[in-house]
Structure 1
Amino acid sequence: MSKSVDTLNKSSQATPNDVNAQLLQQQLLQQQLLLQNSQNQDDEIDLAELWHAIWSGKLIIIAISAIFAISSIVYAIKQPNIYKATTLLAPASEQGGAGGLGKMAGQFGGLASLAGINLGGGGTDKTGLALQVLKSRVFLENFISKHQLLVPLMAAKGWDITTNTLIINDEMYNAETKAWVREVQAPKKPEPSMWQAYKAFLAVLSVTTDKENGMITLAIEHYSPEIAIQWLTWLVNDINITMREQDKFEAQSSINYLTNKLNEIQLADMQTIFYQLIEEQTKTIMLAEVSKEYVLKTIDPANAPEEKAKPKRALIVVLGTMLGGILSVLIVLIRYFSKK
């Protein structure tokens, strides 16, 4: 009996604690529910308040967006048209002396190397080398100087389609006195340096090679489509001339060297080999002299583009209007909440 009484006493003592725990849990749940409800109400209030703030400042939003839209339209209209002329080129096929040198390299390459002559082995990528030379600083600086491109490259600001003449920026270049008048800080000079001209020309020149068929696309952007075409034509001609003269010079140097060495050779077999080497170098010179398109062959010559490449005026207006709308909404919200 005493044990059962003790058990009843313990259970009666534990019951209030359990009840308190349950009540505490219920209170916590109620508080969590109230907190969630209040957060949801706050979110609803915040969204409603944001919409109210935007709606109350709709006139400001419309005004600022309109200002940005009009400004972007004016800016887009004032931008001069830029035309892009392109020409399609193909690697010129290597024949004659080049092919013969490839065969000679396989037979007498070691001997030629000992003699100080580079036959190339037929594996030289002349096209890739020509494209690297075309983009090099030395070639482009000489190109700009040779064709007197400094003024149309650095001082032009537009093109008069009616008179087909360039519009020169008189703040940079005085066309009457033919003097550079741009204001620069020392050590720069009013006349742009060849380094500046080289960087400017690289910015308007693009060279693209199709990896599948090896075709090459040269493109130049300029205010005048006629000038862009002329520059492309000069580029292709000059790079072919440069590579042709370089090969002729190397071949002639090899011939001179071999001819001098012949006087020192007594063995008839060695003399025969040297004569064959001289013959192949002579073929290289002959091929270079008769090949006008020595490295790059024109497949599709440049034509005057009828449509501008830049600027994208519609895109400028759309982006400008969007920027104005976003900025105006931010201004309205900042003003609204700063007053609270």
Structure 2
Amino acid sequence: MTEQTTVQSQTALPEDDEISLIDLAIALGEEKATILMVTGLFTAVAVALALQMPNIYSAKTVMVPPQQQQSGAASALASLGGLAGLAGSAAGIKSPDEMYVAFIKSEGLQNAVIEKLSLQERYKAKSVTDARAALGGAVRITPDKKSGLITIEADDQDPAFAAQLANAHVDELRVLMGRLAVTDAQQRRMFYEQQIKKVQSELAEAEQSFRKAKAQSGMQVTAVLAETGVRASAELRGQIAAREVQMSAMSRFATAQNPDVQRLGSELSALRAQLAKLEQGSGVAEATLPLQQQAVKSYRDVKVQEAMLEVLIKQYELARVDEAKEGPLLQQLDVATAPERKAKPKRAIIVLAAAFGGLFLGVLLAFIRRAMRKAAESDQGSSQIALLQKAWSFKR
């Protein structure tokens, strides 16, 4: 009897597996209406939503960021005079693609684009901050590490406006870079511009002071200075002032232990010692009256500022030449145009994804309904269903 029972149980196993597969097919067949209804409902909803979604067009522009001309900067350094170390301290500064991406994403540039295209009204934003957030979601900026190109893609329901939005970022970036010193030559040119303005202001003050002192003293200062050698003192003061400007600029990039800084310090000390020796030996302070001393000092200050201005103007012109060699700041490889085809939504993909999701949910629901019916047909299943309902009930 035992062996016969064992054989019967072994032969029943494949039958149970076969019955399970048959039950699966039966469950799907019995609940086919549920499956079709859920799948159709999901598909219909997806179709309705997809048709209501507006078409979004994506316009793209590709730009070439400025390239540093290191060879041009090096040739300019060889031509510089007393401030050569200053120009050299700025050499080697490069502008990676990330810097230009950061410029485009800056609040100042985004605010300019928002104001130019009236994006706050277009996006129905309550504040500029909300408009910037909407703009960030509509614009994608992608730098290419290999080629160095930067791609700007803008999305909008209007294809013409999408192209306008992409090109506006490039235009505002040009405006921004016109105010900033980005390249090596721009940095040197801007520094010399600031120094020239400063020296011109000091020269005007010195000339005014000289005219006043000359009128009070009533002497021919030029002849006196030619005889006493103060003209040489003025030239020395001009050299000292030039090196002081150079030292001030280099202090932003180098420490006191830098060899160039130490060399400049030694040159300044030697020139100051030479100036002190020359002025002490000239006899001007002993041979003239106080008013004449003031006139001599004022004339000397004018000559110092003139020498400084001459040195700075020469180097400013060299920086402008080097800046011209660098070419345009920004170049658009591909100007954004109105796209002919929409970029999104992908309606077919949305409907297919919803159909597959509804089919999966319908099959799952069919199995659950089949299991609940089978459980309700047996006493044990009925009690388990009652316990399940009690467990999930909020009434105690």
Deviation at 1:43, TM superposition (A): 2.8
Aligned to 1:205: 139
1:88 corresponds to which of 46, 50, 62: 62
Change (3 A) 1:102 1:88: same
* 3-state secondary structure, aligned to 2:126: coil
* Cα deviation 1:198-219 (Å, max 9, x = unaligned): 2221111112233332232211
Change (3 A) 1:73 1:58: same
Aligned to 1:314: 348
Aligned to 1:256: 194
Distance 2:159 2:43 in 1: 30
Distance 2:354 2:44 in 1: 9
- Please list, as runs of the form range in 1=range in 2, the aligned pairs for 1:42-191 lying within 5 A after superposition: 42-93=16-67, 100-104=72-76, 120-125=90-95, 127-152=97-122, 154-155=123-124, 191=125
Give the alignment's TM-score, normalised by structure 2.
0.57
Aligned to 1:194: 128
- Please list, as runs of the form range in 1=range in 2, the aligned pairs for 1:211-230 lying within 5 A after superposition: 211-230=145-164
* Contact 2:61/2:336 (8 A) holds in 1: yes
Whether 1:266 aligns to 2:267 is no
Give the alignment's TM-score, normalised by structure 1.
0.66
Change (3 A) 1:102 1:133: farther
Whether 1:231 aligns to 2:269 is no
The more displaced of 119-128 and 321-330 is 119-128
Aligned to 1:279: 317
* Contact 1:101/1:122 (8 A) holds in 2: no
* Contact 1:101/1:280 (8 A) holds in 2: no
Select the structure of larger CA radius of gyration: 2
Change (3 A) 1:273 1:39: farther
* Structure showing the higher strand proportion among its residues: 1
Change (3 A) 1:126 1:54: closer
* Contact 2:112/2:172 (8 A) holds in 1: no
Aligned to 2:212: none
Please list every run of 5 or more consecutive structure 1 residues that lacks an aligned counterpart in the other structure. Answer: 1-25, 156-190
Aligned to 1:302: 336
Aligned to 2:262: none
Aligned to 1:243: 177
Deviation at 1:39, TM superposition (A): 4.5
| RMSD, matched Cα | 3.8
Change (3 A) 1:250 1:276: closer
Deviation at 1:141, TM superposition (A): 2.5
Distance 1:261 1:112 in 2: 18
* Contact 1:130/1:295 (8 A) holds in 2: no
* Contact 1:207/1:219 (8 A) holds in 2: yes
Change (3 A) 1:268 1:62: closer
Deviation at 1:192, TM superposition (A): 2.4
Change (3 A) 1:326 1:129: same
The AA in structure 1 aligned to 2:31 is: G
* Structure showing the higher helix proportion among its residues: 2
Distance 2:311 2:98 in 1: 31
The more displaced of 123-132 and 212-221 is 123-132
Distance 2:324 2:64 in 1: 22
* Contact 1:65/1:328 (8 A) holds in 2: yes
The AA in structure 2 aligned to 1:334 is: I
Distance 1:281 1:304 in 2: 40
Change (3 A) 1:70 1:35: same
Deviation at 1:253, TM superposition (A): 4.5
* 3-state secondary structure, aligned to 1:213: coil
* Contact 1:105/1:121 (8 A) holds in 2: no
Distance 1:212 1:266 in 2: 47
* Cα deviation 1:2-46 (Å, max 9, x = unaligned): xxxxxxxxxxxxxxxxxxxxxxxx97xx95x77665554433222
* 3-state secondary structure, aligned to 2:91: helix
Distance 1:107 1:131 in 2: 35
* 3-state secondary structure, aligned to 2:343: coil
* Contact 2:101/2:143 (8 A) holds in 1: no
Distance 2:115 2:89 in 1: 33
Deviation at 1:127, TM superposition (A): 4.8
Change (3 A) 1:34 1:253: farther
Distance 2:320 2:153 in 1: 36
Please list every run of 5 or more consecutive structure 2 residues that lacks an aligned counterpart in the other structure. Answer: 204-236, 244-307, 376-396
Deviation at 1:123, TM superposition (A): 3.5
The more displaced of 69-78 and 137-146 is 137-146
